Structure 1
């Protein structure tokens, strides 16, 4: 597998950890996240994706490996343009919204300032 994306979490919105525990999702957004959304987001420092994000690839968060199970049709576009995607930790193979990446984590994900988020192709 080849790494196609890597970002570091610059800031954690006060509501962002609750999104993981209560809604089983996390929201990534680039540094220009609007104030009304920033409180729910993990702000990241990079938007450069060097390959396709596909089912069978991997999302790795601080060493926690997550299989990519479904990819919304605007995930790549939103990540490159805004640094913004929703990551659903439900392992769904059906997908849901166009900007949502569905993954199946091996264990609980806990993001913090300085966490490293990586994507690998399939």
Structure 2
């Protein structure tokens, strides 16, 4: 069952700058102008249920295991489309708005990329 599905509609001019830190920032179309340049802008869509460790987040066909979930990730993703993705394999959520994923190369992401959580 797909818990969540959205599309990247735009990539901020400086979004790739966080790759060195193994991070990506997602934000809905209502992103403040000062943040939009650093984010992957997505369609805001609701979650079907809570995100849990062990689920999979995918960018098209690139899959990443979810290793930890910050305590406001579900709320922020549903309401603002705004979360940080950290690809470091952390098993404890240090930041409330961050979704932690297995440590491997960041996905190629561009306008039209489909993001799903299963």
Normalising by the residue count of structure 1, what TM-score does the alignment of the two structures yield?
0.92
Describe the shift of the 1:9–1:18 C-alpha distance in structure 2 as closer, same or farther (beyond 3 A): same
Partner in structure 2 of residue 16 of structure 1: 15
For structure 2, the residue ranges without an aligned partner over 5 or more in a row are: none
- Tell me, yes or no, if the aligned pair for 1:65 and 1:105 is still in contact at 8 Å: no
8 Å CA contact retained: 2:87, 2:104 = no
Question: Which ranges in structure 1 are unaligned for 5 or more consecutive residues?
Answer: none
Q: Is the 8 A contact 2:47 2:78 kept in 1?
A: yes
Give the TM-score, by structure 2 length: 0.95
- Decide whether the 8 Å contact of 2:88 with 2:104 is kept in 1: no
Across the two proteins, how many residue pairs are aligned to each other?
A: 118
Would you say the 8 A contact 1:28–1:83 is kept in 2? yes
Where does structure 1 differ by over 2 angstroms across 4 or more consecutive aligned residues? 105-108
Counterpart position of 1:113:
111
